Structures are given as structure tokens and as C-alpha cells.
Amino acid sequence: MLLNYLVEYLDLKTYLIGFFILLLLLDIYSNKSPFNFPPGPRPLPFVGNIFTGVDFKTIDKLAEKYGDVFSLRWGSEKTVFVSGYKMVKEALVTQPDSFADRPVIPLFNNFFKGLGVALSNGYLWKNQRKFVITHLRHFGEGKQVLELSIQQESIFLCDAFKAEQGPFDPQFFLNNAVSNIISALVFGHRFQYHDEKFLNILCLDAEAILLSGSARSQLYNAFPRLFDYLPGPHKTIFANYTKILEFLKEEIRKHKEDWDPSNPRDYIDSFLVEMEKKKSDPEAGFNVDTLLVAMLDLFEAGTETSATTLRWGLLFMMKYPEIQKKVQDEIDKVIGQSRQARIADKPNMPYTEAVIHEIQRLGNVVPLGLMKMATKDTELGGFFIPKGTAVTTNLSSVLNDKSQWETPDTFNPGHFLDEQGRFLKKEAFLPFSAGRRVCVGEQLARMELFLFFTSLLQSFTFSPCPGDELSLEGQMGVALSNGYLWKNQRKFVITSLRHFGEGKKVLELSIQQESIFLCDAFKAEQGPFDPQFFLNNAVSNIISALVFGHRFEYHNENFLNILRLDAEAVVLAGSARSQLYNAFPRLFDYLPGPHKTIFANYEKIIEFMKGEVRKHKEDWDPSNPRDYVDSFLLEMEKKKSDPEAGFNVDTLLIAMLDLFEAGTESAATTMRWGLFFMMKYPEIQKKVQDEIDKVIGQSRQASIADKTNMPYTEAVIHEIQRMGNIVPLGFPKMATKDTELGGFFIPKGTAVTTNLSSVLNDKSQWETPDTFNPGHFLDEQGRFLKKEAFLPFSAGRRACVGEQLARMELFLFFTSLLQSFTFSPCPGDELSLEGQMGFTYAPKPFCICVNPR
């Protein structure tokens, strides 16, 4: 009996050993790396490198041993880690299309299921990202409305700090303040700092973020099926997000009760409108489930990183009081104590800007970026990366690269200052990542950091509690976590436009209002008429509102005379006799000619400008600048000790003239070409109107948010600019140093003219360059197609700074006119495509017939 038992025992043991060996072989076979795959520490059977830390400090050490491109395996999933400025730049900038997708992260996929913006891919991601960017352009990022919102929130934040008695933790005040900015954009309102319900949501979110960076939460990503049945922090994370989503559902319910599709107030309203539009396209993801996840994306994206960066900022200011003092000295010099900080102050505060950038560099809140995935088989650093491989870019290694920073381990604002103390941009400054998945909310974050940080240091001096030792050692939650976490997938949209209101909601409303006046003026005309002065007046009213603070009525004789004087000067400036003045100015100063008329016209225009400056001085309030003139007067006061900066009345008058002409001539002339082409090609006019009727209808005005849904109209406007080609030779430039171009030597000081017309008509770039063809800007599916050779605004450092303003004006004015009228030539008129050269290339004077639709 004992023998039989022993045999049975040995048989069972042998069976188990054999089974284990079989599993081991299967594990080795299934996890075998392809040829030339990045090296890394040897993984253990079944679990891989699960006991290897994935915090950024460990990754830095592994990079020193295995190189800037190495791999780790968690469970059966391989991840490639990329370190160092050179390799990270190659992955994100040189090969942006190779690493544009997101891998599945079980901890978050279980709950969010690849919806929203941050964790989605493919067609759904493109649609959701485009929608978020459009929404941010429409409602917030870079706009005057948003700047005012942050300034107001700064007051509430400072008041909350003042109300505290004794030492306190600033975390929830900062979280509340920053989240209120995104709340205003997403929900349409802010929350009081003592709103218990909202504070609870912030606490739940903060706890989820902290837990998601823990080692036990990372184990869930390696073995999700096993840990679904085990207790752990992932259960708390799921429970917290469930409660947060209930809160968000309540916000949606409130919005639906008083929702007006024709007047979206915020992101939720806009998404509800898009849900109705995209009912026939379920793959685009416009449904309630995606809305909830997108709201959570935006809510967390608009809170965690900026608030955590501000916490690092206060810590560094306490740690280095001498730096805090220098920032405060600059604040006192530039802003003082009588007004709030503004974004316009940034260029005059290089030290503060340098400190904020150094806070981001050394604070380094997202050290390993957000995990990406190879979209195709590719090569990186000489290694083969198969399609579908997860890739983590070690941003910390870039922000601490010894080849890029003089003292990477110390807090040194000098990293961002040149020898003259001017702010210095650095290519290796990548706190927002780069490439196709770059943080879309970079500009929003920059605004928040500057305005909140400056406001706090303007109002307070920060110091540690007595006896406290300040440690610069952080803790790993999402804000200091690795690429396995999804929280870095936040942030909004792209571009804050820089000059005098570009892209702002206030400006959009101004253009929409002016469009109504323009259409009313067209309707009032009886019979054929020349649209030139109506268009000039309408377009100039936009820049007038920004420069002078008000618009002019279309029948204001004084202003109409200024427009006539300017139009005459523009036409004469292009004449041959005027060009002779440029060649022989000393001779022609004593001879009659068109240059005399140009000078006389500009003298009258300058007198008009002087009147505007005089009116502004009568009721000027330095603490509340209303427009460009007010802001310039304020800068004149600040720069009295620096006459070389040119802040004086003479410069103001010329700058006003520059802005007035730049804000009128180019856009108005392009609009004239637009009406001309629509009369010349009525079938194209009809297709534009059909798209307007489909997307906008007749019950509301066009908005900038409509552009993404109107590819044909966008293509037509771009083709108008290409064929109209109003500045065919650009503006002359001058070589700033001896240089070589096309194999030829160009000495310093040589005038250089770039023939933009040759680019816009280059046969290698355009299928039918000599014909009006909107198809140049459409792909085979009828989607809008950007072209690199489309350079109507020039390019480089001297590119047209009003490009975004012009784009807004062209879209809104053009769409409004074709929404209201059908344009046709006068009976018997022959429309010639031959233009006339003045300072710009414009159509010859023509009359139009308008038929209301």
C-alpha cells in the first residue's frame, strides 16, 4: 500500500512538474521579443518585471544601464521606455505619426471603455479631439473672457487665503480655484469654496488620483482578470469615479432642462447640439456615455496638473525666499499694487516667466508623460518597435538632461534667461509633451499659472511653518506618476491667439454684430452698387473696436472720408511713379507726383488718430485699459526711463495707422475678391449656400464653431485667398547677417522679396493653379485639406500677426453674406479676372446685384 501511494504521489508530482514546464515554455514562447527589440532587465517567468519600479527615478537608472531606448514587461505586456532629449524628440517630433495611439490601460479601460478624448483612438478620437479644440476656441482658451474669469477667480483665491488664521494646507483652495476655470467652460458656472457637494467631489477625485499611482493599482494593470476578484485600491478608484459621474450626470440633467440649441452656453450645451447633428454617425462617439467621460477628462485635465504645479510653485518660493523676493520686486515694478496682473504683462516680466518655467521643469508633474502606442512597425534609436507596442516617453529625463541644462538638479531661473536678463525659450522644455498627442490645453495652463502665481505673490509673502523642514521629495500619485496612468491625457485645446482679441468670444460676437449691420446696409441699397466702402467700413470697424474701443456708423462722413483717403493712398502706393520715389527719394522730394498725395492723405489720417488719442486721455483710467490706445498710454508711463523702447505719442500714432490699415485693407480686399468669384462662378456660390443651409440654416448666425462642419465653405475661402493673392510679393525683408540662399551669397543688409504669388501658383503644388478650384483644399472624401504651399499670410518670424483675426473675419463675414444674399453681376457686365496693383492686388471696381434669400 505504501508503494502504491508513493507511486501515485510521484505520478502527481511528475504531472505537476511537467505541467509547470509546459506553462513555462508557453510563457517563454508567447513573450519572446522580436529581433532587435530594445533590451532591458531579464523578466521573471509569468510576471515579467513586475517587481521593477516604474517611477521616473528608477527609469532614469535603467536608462543609464540599458540605454535611452529600453523595454520592460509587466505580465505579458511589453513597454518601451524612451529617455533623453534626442530620443524623446525623435519619437514625438520626428516620428509623430508612429506613436499617435493610446494603448489599453486596464485600470481605466474597465471604467471609461476608451471613450472621451484622453483614452480614445482612431475616428472617435479625431472627432472628440476636434470638438474639444473647437469648443475651447469658441468659449475660452486665450480669450479676454477667460482672462477675466481667471482674474476674478484670483480675487476669490486671495480672499480665501486671507481668511485663514495660522498655518494651512493650500491644496484644496488651489484645486478649487483652478477647477473653477474649467467648470465655467464645461458647466457654465463656478462653485463656492465652501460648497460641500463640490468639495466632496474634489476629495473623491484627489483620492482616486493618489491611489492610481500606487504599486497595488499598477498590479491591476498587469493582471486585471485576477484582481477583479480581489480587494484593493482599484475598488476605491472605481467607487470614487462612479460617484463623480453621478455628479456629472446631474449637471447634464440641469442643462437639458433649459437647453437652447441655438445658443450654446458651454461645453455641455455644445456637445448636446453635436449629438443631434451626428445621430447618423454613431462611430464619432457623440452620445451621453462619451459626454460623461469627456467631461471627466476635461474636469480632471483642468484641475490636477495646474493646481499641482502651483503647489510646487509655493513650495519653491518658501524654499528659496531670495527668488520669491526678486519675483515680487518685478511685480511691484511692472504691475504695482493698484491693479491685477494681465497676460499682456508677460513680455515685461522675464524673471517671473523664467521662475514659472523653472517651477514646471523641476516640479515636473508628469515625469513619464502619458503612454502612447506604436501605430505601425517602426524603428527608434536603431531598435525595432512592432505595431501595438506601448511606448512611454521619459519627459523627466528631458527636463533634467545635462546636455541641455546648466544645473539640472537645482532650482535655477537662469535656465530661461539670457545674458541681458531677457526670457529665453528652450527646445528641451517639454512639460506638456509634444507631437500629435501634445497637451491640447497648454495655452490654458500657461494662462492659469501666470495669472494665479503672479496674483498670489502680488498679495502675499509665503514662508514655511516654524520648525518645518521643506523637502523637495514628491509623492507618487498621478501628478508624479508613470506612463501607465491615464491622468496625463487631459487638457484642452490648442492655441491661444495673441493679438488684440484674436479668437476671443468677445471678438466673435463683435464680428457677428457687424455682419448684421453689413447685411442691413446691403439690403438698403436699391439696384446695383459697389460694395467696396461697405466692406471696408465693416472690416475696419472690427479693428476700430480693438484699437479705439468703438465702431463707426456706415454713414459717418468723417470716418468715410478717412476710408477714402486711405483707399486712395493704398492704390497710389502701387503706382510706377510712387516706386520711383523709393529709388530716388531726395530727387522726388522736390518734384510733384502721387507721393505728394499719399503724404497729404496720411497727414489727414494721422490728425484723425490724434483726435482719438486726445479723447482717450480725457477719461483714461490706468487701472482699467479698454483698448489698444489705453494700453499703449499705460506702457508709455511704465517705460519713461527707457526711451529706446519707443513708447511715445509719435510711435503710438504710427502703430494705430499700421493696425488700422492692416485690419482693413487685406481682409476687405479679400472679401471683394470673394464676392467677385461668387458672381463669376454661380455654381460654386450655390454649393456654398447649400452647405450653409445644411449646417447653419436661416434661423441663426454663423459661428466659428461651424467651420469644422463646413469643409466646402472653408475650401472656397482658402481658394479665394489663393487666387485673389492680394500681397503677391509679400513685404520686403532684409538679411540680418551674411548668409547663403540657393547657393548664392546674400550680404547683411540686403533687401529680400519673397514671391508669394509663385508659391500660390506653383504647378508642383496645385493641380490647376490657373483656375478657381476649391478642390485644391478638399480630399477625396470632401474633407478640408491643409496645404503647406498655402502662404497668403507669408511665414517665418515676420508672418502676418493678424492671421487668426483675418481668418475669423473672412469666415464670419463671407458666410453671413452668402447666408443672406445671392450675388450676381449687373446685366451686360463682363467679369474680368484682371486685377489692379496698388499697395495690394485688388479686383478692378465692380458693381453687384443682391437678391435676398
- In sequence order, what are the residues at sequence separation of 6 or more whose Cβ sits closer than 8 angstroms to the Cβ of residue 275? 286, 287, 288, 291
Q: How far is CA 847 from the centre of its chain?
A: 41
Q: Are 495 and 142 in contact (CB under 8 A)?
A: yes
Q: Does residue 318 contact residue 470 with C-beta atoms inside 8 Å?
A: yes
Where helices occur in 350-414 by DSSP H, the ranges are: 350-363, 395-399
Rounded (5°) CA angle 755-664-716 = 65
What is the Cα–Cα distance from 476 to 479, expressed in whole angstroms? 7
Instruction: Name the grid cell of 724.
Output: 485673389
Question: Which has the closest alpha carbon to 547: 656, 667, 661?
Answer: 656
**Residue 130 carries which side chain, given as an amino acid letter?**
K
In angstroms, the CA 83 to CA 396 distance is: 8
Task: Look at residue 614 and give its three-state secondary structure.
Answer: helix
Query: 216 vs 206, 236, 288, CA distance in Å?
Result: 17, 12, 32
> Can you say whether residue 228 is alpha, beta or left, with left for phi > 0 and alpha for psi between -120 and 50 degrees?
alpha
Provide the grid cell at 459: 498679495
CA atoms within 13 A on the CB side of 250: 9
- What is residue 384's three-state secondary structure? strand
Give the span between the Cα atoms of 432 and 435, in whole angstroms.
10
Rounded to 5 degrees, φ, ψ at 83 are -125, 165
Spatial distance between the Cα atoms of 484 and 106, rounded to a whole number of angstroms: 10
Query: By the 8 A CB rule, do 287 and 475 touch?
Result: no
Cβ-in-10-Å burial (0-12, 13-18, 19+) of 659 comes to buried
User: Closest Cα partner for 86 from 98, 100, 71, 68?
Assistant: 68
DSSP string, 40-93: -SPPBTTTBTTTS--SHHHHHHHHHHH-SEEEEEETTEEEEEE-SHHHHHIIII
CA atoms within 13 A on the CB side of 414: 7
C-alpha angle with apex 676: 671 to 679, nearest 5 degrees? 130
CA distance 426 to 424: 6
Q: CA-based angle 214:220:224, to the nearest 5?
A: 170
Give the count of alpha carbons within 13 A of 405, CB side only.
Answer: 26
Q: Are 184 and 136 in contact (CB under 8 A)?
A: no
Q: What is the DSSP letter of 830?
A: P
* b/e sequence 734-745, b meaning 16+ C-beta within 10 Å: eeeeeeeeeeee
Would you list the DSSP string of 290-351?
A: HHHHHHHHHHHHTTHHHHHHHHHHHHHHHH-HHHHHHHHHHHHHHT-SSS---GGGGGG-HH
Which residues are CB-neighbours of 571 under 8 A, at least 6 positions away? 836, 838, 839, 842
439 marked as part of a ligand binding site:
yes
Per-position DSSP letters for 519-547, written without gaps between them: HHHHHH--S-B--HHHHHHHHHHHHHHHH
Query: What residues form the annotated binding site for heme?
Result: 439
Binding-site residues, please? 439
